Amino acid sequence: MIKVNTEDYPWHAGMTVRALLDEKLFTFRHIIVRVNGEFVPEEDYVSTMIQDGDDVMVLHLMAGG
Amino acid sequence: MGTIIKDYSYTPAKIKHGYSGKSLYINLSDLRIEQKEITEFMKEKFTGGKGFDLWYLWHAVTPETRWDSPENEIVMSVGPLGGITQYAGTGKTLLCSISPLTDIPIDSNVGGYFGPLLKFSGWDAFELQGKSDREILIFIDGNNGRIQIEEAGEYPEDSHLLAEALTKKFAEDEDDMVNVSVVCSGSGAKHSYMGMLNFSFYDPRRKVCRFKQAARGGLGTIMHDKKVKALVVKYRGVKPNLNDPADIATINKVGVKYHKEMHDLDQKQNKMRQIGTANTVMIMSQYDLLPTRNFQTGGDPETVKISPQVFINEWLTQGLHDGCWYGCTMACAKCADHFLITTGPYAGQRVTVDGPEYECAAGLGANLGVFDPQAILEENFYCDTYGIDLISFATCTAFIMECHQRGQITKEQMGGLDLRFGNSHAVLELLHQMSRGEGFGRIAGLGVRNLKRVFVEKFGADPKLLQDIGMEVKGLEYAEYAHKESLAQQGGFAMATKGPQHDEAWLIFMDMVNKQIPTFEDKANALYYFPMFRTWFGLVGLCKLPWNDIVPTDNHKTDSPAKVPEHVQNYVDLFNAVTGKNIDKEELIVQSERVYQFQRVFSVRMGKGERKDDYAPYRSMGPVTREEYLSRQELYDKQLREFQKLDPETMDLDEKIAATRRYREDQYEQLLDAVYRRRGWTENGIPTPERLKAIGMDLPELLEVIEPKL
Ligand code: SF4
Is pLDDT above 70 for A65? Answer: no
Is pLDDT above 60 for B537? Answer: yes
State residue B407's pLDDT score: 97
Closest CA in chain A for residue B489? A63
Which residue in A43, A58, A61 has the most chain B C-beta atoms within 10 A of its own C-beta, making it the best mutation to test that interface? A61
Query: How much distance in Å is there from the Cα of B550 to the middle of ligand 1?
Result: 12
From B481, B556, B562, residue closest to A63, measured CB to CB: B562
For residue range B287-343, list pLDDT tens digits in order.
999 999 999 999 999 999 999 889 888 998 877 768 899 999 888 888 899 999 999
- How close B271 comes to chain A (CA, Å)? 10
Q: Which atom of ligand 1 is nearest to the CA of B92?
A: 5
State residue B640's pLDDT score: 98
Buried b vs exposed e over B515-547: b needs ≥16 C-beta within 10 Å?
A: bbbeebebbbebbbbbbbbbbbbbbbbbbbbbb
CA dihedral B296, B213, B383, B599 (to 10 degrees): 50
Mean pLDDT, rounded, of chain B:
96
Q: Which stretches of chain A sit within 8 Å of chain B by CB?
A: 5-7, 25, 27-30, 32, 39, 57-65
Closest CA in chain B for residue A63? B506
Q: Is B332 in the pocket of ligand 1 (CB under 6 A)?
A: yes
- Residues of A with CB below 8 A from B514's CB? 5, 57-60
From B481, B514, B555, residue closest to A60, measured CB to CB: B514
Is pLDDT above 60 for B510? Answer: yes
For residue range B592-649, list pLDDT tens digits in order.
999 999 999 999 999 999 999 999 999 999 999 999 999 999 999 999 999 999 999 9
Structural domain spans, chain A: 2-60
Is pLDDT above 70 for A64? Answer: no
Q: Which atom of ligand 1 is nearest to the CA of B88?
A: 6
Where do the CATH 1.10.569.10 domains begin and end in chain B? 266-477
Q: CATH homologous superfamily for A2-60?
A: Beta-grasp domain (3.10.20.30)
Fold type of domain B4-234:
Aldehyde Ferredoxin Oxidoreductase;  A, domain 1 (3.60.9)
- How close B679 comes to chain A (CA, Å)? 20
Within 8 A by CB and 6+ apart from B483, the residues are B289, B489, B490, B492, B493, B508, B512, B620
Categorize the per-residue pLDDT at B549 as very low, low, confident or very high, splitting at 50, 70 and 90. confident
- How close B648 comes to chain A (CA, Å)? 21
A61 contacts B555? CB cut-off 8 A = yes
Categorize the per-residue pLDDT at A61 as very low, low, confident or very high, splitting at 50, 70 and 90. confident
A6 contacts B518? CB cut-off 8 A = yes
User: Are the C-beta atoms of B87 and B570 separated by less than 8 Å?
Assistant: yes
Tally of residues, chain A:
65
A28 contacts B562? CB cut-off 8 A = no
- Kindly list the distances between the CA atom of residue B484 and the CA atoms of B370, B489, B532, B704, in Å, as whole numbers in the listed order: 22, 8, 23, 38
Within 8 A by CB and 6+ apart from B321, the residues are B203, B204, B205, B206, B331
Q: Report CA A64 to chain centroid distance, whole Å.
A: 22
Is pLDDT above 60 for B653? Answer: yes
State residue B267's pLDDT score: 82
For residue range B369-390, list pLDDT tens digits in order.
999 999 999 999 999 999 999 9
In terms of Cα–Cα distance, which of B621, B495, B515 is closest to A5?
B515
Is pLDDT above 70 for B161? Answer: yes
Tell me the mean pLDDT in the region B76-89. 96
State residue A37's pLDDT score: 94
* Number of Cα atoms under 13 Å in the Cβ half of residue B29: 8
What gap in Å lies between CA B50 and CA B538, rounded to an integer? 6
In terms of Cα–Cα distance, which of B174, B44, B62 is closest to B699?
B44
Fold type of domain B266-477:
1.10.569
Tell me the mean pLDDT in the region B9-38. 98
For residue range B197-247, list pLDDT tens digits in order.
999 999 999 999 999 999 999 999 999 999 999 999 999 999 999 999 999
- Residues of A with CB below 8 A from B502's CB? 65
What gap in Å lies between CA B205 and CA B226, rounded to an integer? 35
For residue range B190-199, list pLDDT tens digits in order.
999 999 999 9
Closest CA in chain B for residue A34? B556
Where do the CATH 1.10.599.10 domains begin and end in chain B? 487-550+583-709
Categorize the per-residue pLDDT at B273 as very low, low, confident or very high, splitting at 50, 70 and 90. confident
From A7, A39, A64, residue closest to B548, measured CB to CB: A64
From A6, A28, A61, residue closest to B561, measured CB to CB: A61
pTM of the model: 0.96
State residue B277's pLDDT score: 75
Is pLDDT above 80 for B424? Answer: yes
Q: Is B543 in the pocket of ligand 1 (CB under 6 A)?
A: yes
State residue B562's pLDDT score: 83
State the CATH architecture for B487-550+583-709. Orthogonal Bundle (1.10)
State residue A62's pLDDT score: 73
Query: How much distance in Å is there from the Cα of B683 to the middle of ligand 1?
Result: 39
Categorize the per-residue pLDDT at B356 as very low, low, confident or very high, splitting at 50, 70 and 90. confident
For residue range B101-147, list pLDDT tens digits in order.
999 999 999 999 999 999 999 999 999 999 999 999 999 999 999 99
